Amino acid sequence: MHYTRRVTLGLLLGSLGLVRVSSGGMASLSSGETLSLSASLGENEWKVMREHVFPPFEAREHCRIRAVNIEAGDTLKKIEVMHRANRMSIDLVLLDNMNLAPYVEKRLVLDLTPYQALIEPAVDASLVQPLTFDGRLMFFPGRPNVQITYYNTDVFSGTGYHIPETWDELLAVAQRLKAAYKVGKVAVHGTLDGSTTAQVFEFITAAGGKITTFNDAGSIKAFTFLQQLYPYLSPETKKANWNTTNTFLSNDTLFLARNWSVGMQVIVQQNQKTNIQAYATWAGPAGRATMIGGDVIAITKRSPHQELALKFAGYFMSREVQTLLVSELGWPPIRSDALGSVPEWQQGFFQAIMEALRYGHYRPAIMGWSAVEKYVNLAFKDIVMDGRDVQTTLDTYARDLQEELDWLK
């Protein structure tokens, strides 16, 4: 009976591209209890998982972990197929927090409310609250990511220039740098894609607005400020995104820019640009605001090993594992007591990261985020780059956006 069930499961996984194949060419099967988890990780990240994270848990629980890499864009479809067929072969998923609502609406994940005690007090509460849907905790925090503000310490030495702490100071320093260097040395992400959306989200939130409303007072303040700032930005703003910004900071094209925390590995460790440091962010009219990216933990509703999956979730959130992920991968931790082994050169960056997380906001968990991205980038081009009227443009796009979001409900 067990043999038949496993073969059937193997065939299902094979059809979904999820079976790991052994050197002999046969799907590997375990004789004991096996926890299956999926994530979208890089090669080095999987190496750390398999060599350092999984073995202690396997030894402790007398189990085996089978890990499969599923790209973030494919996860929902594959989980939904298995759920509908009542053949769930994935117990636990590390999900990109940018697309959580469909998993809840389609009832694909377990309600974790009865297991909130697995979240220890050291876990940052700001990372937990947005994972609640209609009063139910549906996800656990897993790996947060956040943007921090990188600056060149040779320029921002505290004498000639000071790092900007407010929008007004940001505008003033951008103006001064362009006057001194005859070209802008500050950038925002202007590639008119998800990178631009993330930073516009931060500006709107820091002004007290909501990106899904789009023509409220906060949104108007944010786009008005960006329109004022744009003439003093680097011409590389149109090329600046999560990747190229690291290069621009490394070769002194930029002296000040926000980017994701992984940039410290590229700029300082890889490119040896030791004069780059970071702080959290500047404040808008309503305070400081950052956008939290990264992964959260979900347990599939039809997991055959829910108890084991819950144990692994608690283990993954533990100080033991979070500290290891900080030291081995430079991942921002979900808890305040996991920074003990940070190398000296990273300490300033992690201070900035942890502060930025305190100002963090998850992106709205809605169906139709692609529509939000479309109109944010249209508005950025029309208003910020081309100088069109802020109120009129936002009113038009807010109406169009609301129509698309209403259609999806």
Q: Is residue 350 part of a domain?
A: no
Residue 247 located in a structural domain: yes
Q: Over the stretch 239-274, which tens digit does the pLDDT of each residue have?
A: 999 999 999 999 999 999 999 998 998 999 899 999
Q: What percentage of residues in the chain have a pLDDT greater than 90? A: 75
Render pLDDT for 27-79 as a digit per residue (tens, 0 to 9). Answer: 333 336 999 999 998 888 999 999 999 999 999 999 999 999 998 889 999 99
pLDDT at residue 354 tops 60: yes
Pair 221, 369 in one domain: yes
Q: Are 188 and 201 contacting, i.e. CB atoms less than 8 angstroms apart?
A: no
Please give the residue that has the higher pLDDT: either 187 or 71. 187
15-24 pLDDT, tens digit per residue, is 444 434 332 3
Mean residue pLDDT of the chain comes to 90
- Three-class SS state of 195: helix
Average pLDDT over residues 312-327: 95
Is the domain of 131 the same as that of 156? Answer: no
Q: Two tokens at 69?
A: 């890499």
Q: Mean pLDDT, to the nearest integer, of 174-185?
A: 98
Residue that wins the pLDDT comparison between 211 and 102: 211
Phi-psi label, residue 327: left if phi above 0, alpha if psi -120 to 50, beta otherwise: alpha
CATH code, 32: 3.40.190.10
- Determine the pLDDT at residue 32: 64
User: Are residue 134 and residue 281 in the same domain, yes or no?
Assistant: no
Judge if 268 and 304 occupy the same domain: no
Range of the domain at 186: 146-291+364-408
Q: Rounded to 5 degrees, what are φ and ψ at 66?
A: -110, 115
Classify residue 120: in a domain, yes or no.
yes
Residue ranges in 188-216 assigned as alpha helix (H): 194-206
Q: Strand 276-279 relative to strand 290-299: parallel, antiparallel, unpaired? A: unpaired
Q: Are 248 and 234 in contact (CB under 8 A)?
A: yes
265 and 378 fall within a common domain: yes
Q: What pLDDT does 231 receive?
A: 98
